[in-house]
């Protein structure tokens, strides 16, 4: 039977980060919880990202660009 964590402690906290400890965890559940928290945080935190680029002389995403090499 999988046991639930019985201890959640906040170890360090400031304006930009928090360090906490959850234990005991069933083997492999640390990765599961970590991935879940990462995905929730990435989808919830506001930020900026490049979503579109326009290059003069390039008509579509399949056009070649002079002087650019693909790695």
pTM (2 d.p.): 0.50
User: What does the alpha-carbon distance between residue 14 and residue 37 come to, in Å, rounded to a whole number?
Assistant: 18
Mean pLDDT of 4-23: 91
Please give the C-alpha separations between residue 6 and each of 10, 18, 26, 31, 37, in angstroms, as whole numbers.
14, 19, 12, 18, 19
The pLDDT score that the predictor gives to residue 13 is 94
Q: Does residue 12 register a pLDDT over 90?
A: yes
How is the chain split into domains, by residue range? 1-71
Q: Where are the beta strands (DSSP E) in 1-71?
A: 7-13, 18-23
Q: Is omega for the bond preceding 24 within 30 degrees of 0, making it cis?
A: yes
The pLDDT score that the predictor gives to residue 16 is 84
Tens digit of pLDDT for each residue in 16-67? Answer: 888 989 988 888 888 898 899 889 988 888 888 888 888 888 899 898 888 8
The pLDDT score that the predictor gives to residue 70 is 79
């Amino acid at each position: 039977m999988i046991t639930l964590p019985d201890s959640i402690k906040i170890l360090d906290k400031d304006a930009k980060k928090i360090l906490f400890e959850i234990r005991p965890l069933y083997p492999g559940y640390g990765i599961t919880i970590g991935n879940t928290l990462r995905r929730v945080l990435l989808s919830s935190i506001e930020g900026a990202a490049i979503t579109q680029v326009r290059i003069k002389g390039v008509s579509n995403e399949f056009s070649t660009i002079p002087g650019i090499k693909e790695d």
